[in-house]
Structure 1
């Protein structure tokens, strides 16, 4: 009897264990099902939210609006920069959605110009308008800022075409309060770097060289400056991915580009000059570029003397290694691109020969001095 009872108890224990495991398995399956359901609901919720966001972004900002806004699209604007302009003006809801909508629909052929656009327009209507390229009316004010100009020269051009005085313009462009207000408008382009103590002019190199048209009778100085900064922003946006890969900041890029712009001649290869500057930085050599000496002196001279190179200034690259604190002039797109993509060379020196008009590159000081003797010294003694 005792043996039979023991066998029965063992069977009951096995049965109870199986029953408990079965219950645990059912509980686990329920938990898994609940978690899976929650995950599905979360994913569905995210997808639905994304769908609704995209749908909303594709709709007009204000369907019933009768307001018309003048929107200028600069030459060479990308879909991304156009989207930024339209979003800032309140014509579309999302620059990002606009950019991808344009790409997915393979929309191209946008025309530069000033357009009359409304927040009540659909994205398709806006795209149609931008592809027609119809400028509203004749510009009331138009001026050109050439490449390689310093801020005081740009101020002089603005003064020539407006009622503003050159000194008045420079005072505003150097005003820390005004710079801070611009930094709020263009946080990606203008950083705290501009207000560091060694910076001579905060906006030096940031006002892009181009032809600017204005349709107001008397645009404010702020309008003039903003249009130039928008242009700079649109150019920089085209190279942002490349700059990120090279770990270059916008400030560094514009500073290097300004040196290339100042040193380059028509026949000079900006990419080779760019490589020389980067090669010098890499081996710890000073850049020793004459335009930085002239910028330090605040003068425009044909020739830099030995005494000039001794000027004490954070911009004097004969005395201070590395890049100067900020750009020394405004650079064109070609120089900006060269600053980002230097040619791969072993050159450390270059000189522009007056007699031949060519630019000669060398890897050693000895080779450079020979070229200098041949194309510079001998020519001067003739």
Structure 2
């Protein structure tokens, strides 16, 4: 064999050995991948099994959770207890009260029950409820207002009333001392607790130095029922603020669109409109006049603010009254009053949010209830002389 043949054989052997090694590596890699795939399959199968078990257990638990929440707390316990639903309570608050008093087992389930059954119009008051009652029975009872007793006091607070007038109404109809009521209205520490409790409607703005009473205008005009002989001033104030919040928040999106005006401004304007107008048409038109004057940086010149500044109830505002030195006198100061001058009605809020668009800059509210409007000061003077003759 020649040297060249020997080299050729040697190279052939090396090539064969290389091929054998390559095949062996491929075989080992294949076996390794098979083992890894098997391991992955086992892990996936274990995870799927665990998830299946969790879903089954969760589904069963959820089923019994809902079932128990829908059942009476104790079908065998027919004893009754007094449950109080405060005025203005939301569905969530009612659900929490019912659970706390032990007549439903789960407030969350009850909220879903109320939502799915479109239940509404819950009535405030005191009810005799039992742990043996079904959700349907409880809901029906607090919807229809079948209460344990009639209210001890019913007090109607009309629109356009000041805090001092409201205090007198409670003194007359609910045995509340008017002076003590007003003392509470001037308690700065108490007012601060209310600002914390109702941050969506009350702000530090009501504590401004020029404000006569922080809560002026914030105690809503409505009929309130009381089921105890001696209701506290605090409970009365909370009932009224709850109602204010319930109404005002319905209009919050519209209020936020009024650039340059916040809720305090809107309620202040609503109180001015409330005192000036009797019909909705006039409310909307007067609100439009106020905005026209504010936009032109004109003073508002509205008589009810003068009366509020004077602290008097008068049939007529005299020329000398217009000179009263007060931040509430809109004949002497530009812009809005520091705060509302009375409570408001919902119709006045609507008017402020949707004022009639006109070119009127003046109006005269005559003693007979008619309102006369003018675009120019000259015409306004004639209307004043004709319909509102002031004297010294």
TM-score, normalised with respect to structure 2? 0.70
Mark the structure with the bigger radius of gyration: 2
Deviates most, 250-259 or 327-336? 250-259
Say if 2:221 and 2:343, in contact at 8 Å, map to a contact too: yes
Q: CA deviation at 1:373?
A: 4.5
Deviates most, 265-274 or 90-99? 90-99
Say if 1:353 and 1:376, in contact at 8 Å, map to a contact too: no
> What's the counterpart of residue 32 of structure 1?
none
> What's the counterpart of residue 157 of structure 1?
169
Q: What SS class does the counterpart of residue 90 from structure 2 fall into?
A: helix
TM-score, normalised with respect to structure 1? 0.71
Q: CA deviation at 1:118?
A: 5.8
> What's the counterpart of residue 230 of structure 1?
242
Count residues in correspondence: 371
> What's the counterpart of residue 217 of structure 2?
205
Deviates most, 295-304 or 91-100? 91-100
Q: CA deviation at 1:219?
A: 1.4
For 1:113 and 1:262, the matched residues in 2 are separated by 30
1:10-54: CA deviations, max 9, x gaps?
A: xxxxxxxxxxxxxxxxxxxxxxxxxxxxxxxxxxxxxxxx99999
Q: What SS class does the counterpart of residue 220 from structure 2 fall into?
A: coil
- Specify which of 152, 156, 173 is matched with residue 140 of structure 1: 152
> What's the counterpart of residue 167 of structure 1?
179
Matched, 1:303 2:317: yes
Q: CA deviation at 1:334?
A: 1.0
For 1:268 and 1:131, the matched residues in 2 are separated by 35
Matched, 1:274 2:283: no
For 2:136 and 2:106, the matched residues in 1 are separated by 14
Q: Given the superposition, is the C-alpha separation of residues 123 and 164 from structure 1 closer, same or farther in structure 2, using an over 3 Å criterion?
A: same
Q: What SS class does the counterpart of residue 158 from structure 2 fall into?
A: coil
Q: CA deviation at 1:210?
A: 1.5
Say if 1:286 and 1:318, in contact at 8 Å, map to a contact too: yes
- Specify which of 161, 177, 192 is matched with residue 189 of structure 2: 177
Q: CA deviation at 1:315?
A: 5.6
Say if 2:364 and 2:387, in contact at 8 Å, map to a contact too: no
* Alignment map for 1:317-356 (pairs within 5 Å): 318-321=332-335, 323-339=336-352, 341-352=353-364, 354=366
In angstroms, what is the RMSD of aligned CA positions?
4.8
For 1:133 and 1:261, the matched residues in 2 are separated by 32
> What's the counterpart of residue 270 of structure 2?
257
Q: What SS class does the counterpart of residue 273 from structure 2 fall into?
A: helix
Matched, 1:81 2:90: yes
> What's the counterpart of residue 128 of structure 1?
140
